[in-house]
Amino acid sequence: MDFTIRAASLDDCKDISRMILKLAEHDNVSDQIKITQRDLEQDGFSKNPFFHGIIAEVPEHFKSRDGHTKVGYSLYFYTYSSWKGRAVYMEDLYVMPEFRGKGIGKALMAKVSQLGLAAGCTQLNFTVLDWNKSSLDFYRKQGCWDVTSDLGYHCMRCEGDALEHLGGHLHFTDQSQ
């Protein structure tokens, strides 16, 4: 099947938003999604974007049963390791179920890798839920390794009241502005 991988534009945010919801349904986390099409437009396509995106698109005659030609996407951004330097982080990788097994997911991941290498990155990082064995198998086949299992890395998070409290702590101690 012919498909194209290209940079996402503002006009793709409606489809990215649709696919983010589909990916969340697959991961059983639909209730966690706070991001709207408008958030994506503001945060990804303004002067200092928080992320970049790529789209997998098929020709009109291969469109999905419900009429979509944008059938996959990846969101990524650049990060930094104080050990190894420039890195690229793949936040999402998604292909609509009826288009899987055609190399589209691998092509999206390859494009993120290619863009990362071109920007001087030496690592591609991402996270996977441990129950998602089919994704883990796919990534292992591409030569990826599990930093959490092998080195003991744990992802930690601060949010909500705890983050507000922490950020407010500086009213008392911060001497810089």
Looking at the annotation, which residues are catalytic? 139
Contact 41, 53 (CB under 8 A): no
Nearer residue to its own copies within complex by CB, 65 or 154: 154
Please state the closest distance from residue 91 (CB atom) to its own copies, in A. Answer: 6
- Asked if residues 111 and 69 have their Cβ atoms less than 8 Å apart, the reply is no
Return the number of the residue (67 or 160) whose C-beta is nearest its own copies: 160
From the centroid of its chain, how far is CA 83?
Answer: 23
How many CA atoms lie within 13 Å of 82's alpha carbon, on the beta-carbon side? 0
Please, which residue, 60 or 159, has the CB nearer to its own copies?
A: 159
Give me the least distance between CB of 38 and its own copies, in Å please.
11
If the CB atoms of residues 43 and 64 are measured against its own copies, the closer one turns out to be 43
Q: Residues 41, 43, 47, 52: is their CA dihedral positive or negative?
A: negative
Q: Are 88 and 124 in contact (CB under 8 A)?
A: yes
CB 138 within 8 A of CB 90: no
Write down the least CB distance from residue 99 to its own copies, Å.
Answer: 14
How many Cβ atoms sit within 10 Å of the Cβ of residue 167?
A: 10
Provide, rounded to whole angstroms, the least separation between the CB of residue 67 and its own copies. 22
